[in-house]
Structures are given as C-alpha cells and as structure tokens.
Amino acid sequence: MRPVSAMSFVRRPWRLLAEASALLIAVVVAFPLYWMVLSAFKPAGEIESSEPRPWTLAPSLDSFRRVFEQNEFGRYFLNSLVVACTVVIVSALIAFLAATAVTRFRFRFRTTLLIMFLVAQMVPVEALTIPLFFLMRDFGQLNTLGSLILPHIAFSLPFAIWMLRGFVKAVPEALEEAAYMDGASRSRFLWQILFPLVFPGLVATSVFSFISAWNDFLFAKSFIISDTSQSTLPMALLVFYKPDEPDWGGVMAASTVMTIPVLIFFVLVQRRLVSGLGGAVKD
Amino acid sequence: MNSSPRPMGRWSTPWLYLAPALVVLAGLLVYPVYQLGLISFFQYTQAQVSGGEPTTFQGFGNYAELFGDEQFWQVLLATVVFAAACVVSTLAVGCALAVLLTRVRAVPRLALMLAAMGAWATPAITGSTVWLFLFDPDFGPVNRVLGLGDHSWTYGRFSAFFLVLLEVVWCSFPFVMVTVYAGIRAVPAEVLEAAALDGASQWRIWRSVLAPMLRPILVVVTIQSVIWDFKVFTQIYVMTNGGGIAGQNLVLNVYAYQKAFASSQYSLGSAIGVVMLLILLAVTLVYLRLLRRQGEEL
C-alpha cells in the first residue's frame, strides 16, 4: 500500500489517539459477530443466564448439533448455495455482455438504456413479490429453486451492469484494434481477451449478487410455500427464532453457519472489492 | 462474423450482447412492475386469486381507500423519518471512519477494515437476530452493562426503531467507509499538504478541499443509502416481528407485504408498492439531475 504521506503532518499524540480509537471502534464493530460465534459455542446453561460473560470455559457443540440435526438442514444449505452460485455466475455473464455493449459500442438509445438500468436499481424488490408470486404460479415455478434464482438474476443485473462499465471502459481500445488486426474474431476478442481483463471487476460485482441471493428470505418465504425440501437457509434459521421463546443457542449457531460462507467470500475478494468500488465510483 | 473488417461497425452487435439482459429484465422486472400497477387498479383478494370471483376494475378505488386510511400516512411518515435517520447516521459514521482510516498506520487500519468487512458480509437476517440477542432483556449483555435490568427495547415504538437503526447503520456504514476511503486516497497528496501548509484546520480541509473533490462519490453513496434504507425490509420484519406491536414499527415495504400476504389484500399491497416506486423514481430523477450538473457523461 502507498504510504499515507498526505497525512504525515498529523502530529504524533493525535495519531496515537486516532489509532487507539480506530482499534476501539474495530472491537465495537466486530463485537456482534464475536458474540454470535461465542453464543453458538456456549452450553445451554450459559446462554440463558442472567449474567452473560464474554467468554466460555466449557465450549460445546450442542447448538450446532441441534441445527444440523434439524430435518434436512444440509439440504437447505445446499439449496442456498445452488441459488447463490447460479445467480452469481449467470448474472455475471449476462452483465458482462451488456456492459460490453454499452461501453464499447455507440448506438441509438444507448443513453436511454443506461438511464433505464439506473432506474431499475430503484425498484423496490419487495413490492414486486406480489406480481412475481402470480408470475411464478402461472409458470408452475412455485416451490422450485427457479422461483428464487430467476428474480434474483433480474434484480442483480442493473447494478452489476452499472458497476462493470468502469472495468470494461478501462481496457484500452487500442488493444481491441490490435486484436482485430491480428485476425481475431469478435467472439475470440470478447472471451479470450476482454473477459480475463474484466474478471477482477466481475468478482467485485458478484459480491453484491451473492449477498442478495444468499440473504433472501422474502422470496423463500413467499414462493416456497408447501415443499419444504426446496427451502433455503434463512427459513431454517427462523425455525429456531420464535418471537416469544427463541432458542438463542440454535439461532446463533445457525447464524454462524449462514454467515461463514459470506465471510469467506468477502475475505477472498476484499482487495478487489475496494479497488472495484473506487473504480466504479470514480468513473 | 469474420468477414467484416471492422467488427465494431455492425449495428446489430451491441443488441446481440444486450439481448440476454434485456430479455431477463423485461420478463422479470418490467413486466412485474406493469402487473403491479395493473393489480393496484383492480379488486384483488383471496377470492380472485383462487378464481372464485372475477376481478373487477376499481379505478383509483384502492388508492382512495389507502389515502383515506390514517395508518398509511403514519407508516409513510415513519418510513421517511426512519430512512432519513438511517441515511444521515450511516453517512456520518462512514465518512468519519473513512477520514480516520487515512490518519492511522497499517495495523489499526487493517483491524478496522476487517471488522467493517465482517459487518458488511453479515446477512441481514443473521445481523438482525444477533442484534436482538445483544439487546435481549433477559440474556443480552447490553442491558447488563448499561444496568437497564429487563428493559425491553422492542416494546416502545422509538426504542424499537432505534434498535433497528443501530443494526442498519452497523451493516451499511462499511460500504460508505470503503468507498469514501478509496475516494480520499485518490486525492493527490500535494493538494492536502498545500492546504495544511496554509494553516487550514482539519475540519476546514475536509469542508473546503476534500468534500468538494469527493462530491461525485458522496452523491453516489448518499443515493445508494437512500435507496437501501428506504427499502429496509428484513431488519424491521425480523427485529420487530413483522412490524412491531399493533404495527407501530411498520415501514412501507413491510406494510405492503403484510397487506398483501397476511391479509390477502393484494390490490392494496400493490398500491403501496406503486407509491414506493413513485417516491424512489423521484429520488432517481434528482440523482440524474445531479449527475448531469456535474457534466458527467453516461
């Protein structure tokens, strides 16, 4: 990383104070996650105690056992993974093509299309649950994973296209001309030259579609109404969360299981995400 | 395709590339929006869904019913105030921490960055349950530390909204922080040094140098925050158990859902959805005008 030379004029005591507060804030921000994992490992007696302690001396896997023994939890996990991965891959491919079209070509209605992609991001997804429910019913997609995958692809596309534009634009046009000079076909340029160059951007963008698909609980709740084998993780989590008498150990263990894949994904793409956002915003 | 010497020239190519996106968006976004508008003009309840009764055209009847309902105006007001509070808090926290990040060395910066990434990555639904647990009147650590006994945070209207706000800010400030931080790093160091040499205070540097240079970024994160916070659904639904006691914590989104799926008044739910859509459309138009004024080319 570049040294923060711009800030070298900050005097030392102030910098120490700033660093101390940064660390303190980091602890506060991380605390809910720490508490989640901690509670997942606490034995039942310690969770439901009126003297909660920020540590445990007798870690236990009981809560996790309850979560995994819940009927078909593995299945729910798999369903969630299938939905999220399909959405990420399909929407990344479609968005890549569309972003290429709007950045590398000049054509009529180009600006109109861009504005429409922007407007599409504002559509409140939740409000569309009602018409989508009827649409899925008419196509016989209720109670299938398709009813979760299809809408999420549509809803992640506009933002993905909008973000990818910057990455596609950054690839110099001279490269394209050189490729054609050397006799490369258009599809060859697209998939063998442009695609690898834009790939980091695709990864950064896919974080957003992954999260929205992985988090979804509204569509799962509304479209998967009778066939519970098609259910996803959020619904499995809510089984433990009964408002009057929640099984906190189970909720925390299920939450941990649900959060870890996203955390891993984030850690893997963290760098690209930061530069990706910078690029997308600057553009 | 190889026959054309300048492949860029073909008019149909961009449309070929756009086709998959346009098909998906037309079928799963534009058409449902059209349907939403349509349903909001019809009488549409359980009887019509099951085919027991024919659908009848209502004109603006559903809207008249909605606007005549005092609860709608309360929910609308609550949504606007709540979203505004979320946006302001998220932006304030995110910008402050972004500036803080530029003042510290690598280790504290990495710690804060990782913690923020963790909060960002946390799914809304798990974040909601964890924050509820932290503030649980019986077993949560917060009430113990603050000595609040078994004070229930979700019982009162404002404290319930406040709790949801904390969770929303926690999971959405990282986006603002990371984006603004990336923006500050892109500002040439000489500019800041010159300002500091001229004896400008930290606040003055932020206000007169950084903020104007970061304006495009600030516009983007503000608009994104407005869109996200206006549409908050999961947090309210989970943390206040579907809208709070007697619907005291309803926001438009949850209200529409409850009307449609809990009481099977699909047309009223759709009308609420249309109102939300129009409000967000207005926000978008403001956004576009701001972009235009900056002379940005799309």
- Measured in whole angstroms, the distance separating CA B250 from the mean position of its chain's CA atoms is 16
Task: Tell me how close the Cα of B37 comes to any Cα of chain A, in angstroms.
Answer: 9
Instruction: Report the mean per-residue pLDDT for chain A.
Output: 84
Read off the tokens for A167.
């990455």
Domain ranges, ordered by start, for chain B: 77-249
DSSP β-ladder status, B42-43 and B56-57: antiparallel
Residue that is written with structure tokens 């800010």 in the block = B169
Residues of A within 8 A of B179 (CB-CB) are 277-278, 281
Q: Residue B129 to residues A55, A219, A237, B134, B241: CA-CA distances in angstroms?
A: 20, 19, 9, 9, 11
**Longest alpha-carbon distance in chain A:** 74
Read off the pLDDT of residues B30-70 as tens digits, 9 standing for 90 and up.
999 999 999 899 887 777 777 777 777 878 888 998 999 99
Confidence (pLDDT) at A276: 62
B114 touches A: beta carbon within 8 Å: yes
Identify the structural domains of chain A with CATH numbers, from first to last. 5-60 (no CATH), 71-282 (1.10.3720.10)
Read off the pLDDT of residues A22-40 as tens digits, 9 standing for 90 and up.
999 999 999 999 999 999 9
Confidence (pLDDT) at B132: 92
The answer to whether A79 and A227 have CB atoms below 8 angstroms apart is no
Q: Which positions 243-272 of B are in contact with A (Cβ < 8 Å)?
A: 253, 256-257, 260-261, 266, 269-270, 272
Yes or no: domain B77-249 corresponds to CATH 2.40.50.140: no
Q: Residue B141 to residues A35, B15, B84, B146: CA-CA distances in angstroms?
A: 9, 57, 29, 9
* Alpha-helix runs per DSSP H in chain B: 12-25, 31-39, 46-49, 61-68, 70-103, 106-121, 124-134, 141-146, 157-185, 189-197, 202-205, 211-213, 215-230, 234-239, 252-257, 266-293
Read off the tokens for B120.
């960002």
Name residues whose C-beta falls within 8 Å of residue A44's C-beta, 6 or more positions apart in sequence: A62, A63, A249
Model confidence at A12, pLDDT cuts 50, 70, 90, reads: confident
Specify the range with the lowest mean pLDDT, choosing from A8-12, A257-261, B142-146, B227-231: A8-12
Among A18, A150, A248, beta carbon nearest to B104 = A18
Among B25, B122, B186, beta carbon nearest to A33 = B122
Name residues whose C-beta falls within 8 Å of residue B23's C-beta, 6 or more positions apart in sequence: none
Minimal Cα distance from B133: which residue of A?
A: A248
Among A23, A114, A185, beta carbon nearest to B2 = A185
Task: Tell me how close the Cα of B81 comes to any Cα of chain A, in angstroms.
Answer: 18
B199 touches A: beta carbon within 8 Å: no
Torsion angle defined by CA atoms of residues B223, B229, B231 and B233, in that order, rounded to the nearest 10 degrees = 160
Overall average pLDDT of the A210-220 stretch: 87
Confidence (pLDDT) at A277: 61
Are B15 and A185 an interchain contact pair (Cβ–Cβ within 8 Å)? no
For residue B104, give the DSSP letter: S
The answer to whether B105 and B185 have CB atoms below 8 angstroms apart is no
Task: Tell me how close the Cα of B52 comes to any Cα of chain A, in angstroms.
Answer: 16
Does pLDDT of A263 surpass 50? yes
Name residues whose C-beta falls within 8 Å of residue B201's C-beta, 6 or more positions apart in sequence: none
**Distance separating alpha carbons of residues B161 and A51, to the nearest angstrom:** 26
Read off the pLDDT of residues A164-179 as tens digits, 9 standing for 90 and up.
888 888 888 888 888 8
The answer to whether B225 and B217 have CB atoms below 8 angstroms apart is no
Residue A108: CB atoms within 10 A of its CB come to: 10
Read off the tokens for B126.
């798990």
Please, what is the Cα angle at A264 between A260 and A269, to 5 degrees? 150
Model confidence at A10, pLDDT cuts 50, 70, 90, reads: low
- The percentage of chain A sitting over the pLDDT mark of 90, rounded to a whole number, equals 23
Are A22 and B101 an interchain contact pair (Cβ–Cβ within 8 Å)? yes
Residues of B within 8 A of A30 (CB-CB) are 114-115, 118-119
Low-confidence ranges of chain B (pLDDT < 70): 1-10, 294-298
Read off the pLDDT of residues A226-254 as tens digits, 9 standing for 90 and up.
887 888 888 888 878 877 777 888 889 99
Q: What ipTM was reported for this prediction?
A: 0.85
Does pLDDT of A149 surpass 90? yes
Q: Residue B70 to residues A97, B4, B13, B64, B77: CA-CA distances in angstroms?
A: 48, 65, 53, 12, 11
Minimal Cα distance from A213: which residue of B?
A: B123
Q: Give the best residue of A2, A8, A27, A29 to mutate against chain B (max B CB count within 10 A).
A: A29
Confidence (pLDDT) at A125: 81
Task: Tell me how close the Cα of B184 comes to any Cα of chain A, in angstroms.
Answer: 10
**Distance separating alpha carbons of residues B24 and B41, to the nearest angstrom:** 26
Please, what is the Cα angle at B118 between B149 and B250, to 5 degrees? 55
Name residues whose C-beta falls within 8 Å of residue A230's C-beta, 6 or more positions apart in sequence: A79, A143, A144, A145, A224
Identify residue B84 by its one-letter amino acid code: A
Read off the tokens for A103.
């950045």
pTM of structure: 0.86
Are B129 and A22 an interchain contact pair (Cβ–Cβ within 8 Å)? no
Confidence (pLDDT) at A274: 65
Provide the number of CB pairs (under 8 Å) joining chain A to chain B: 314
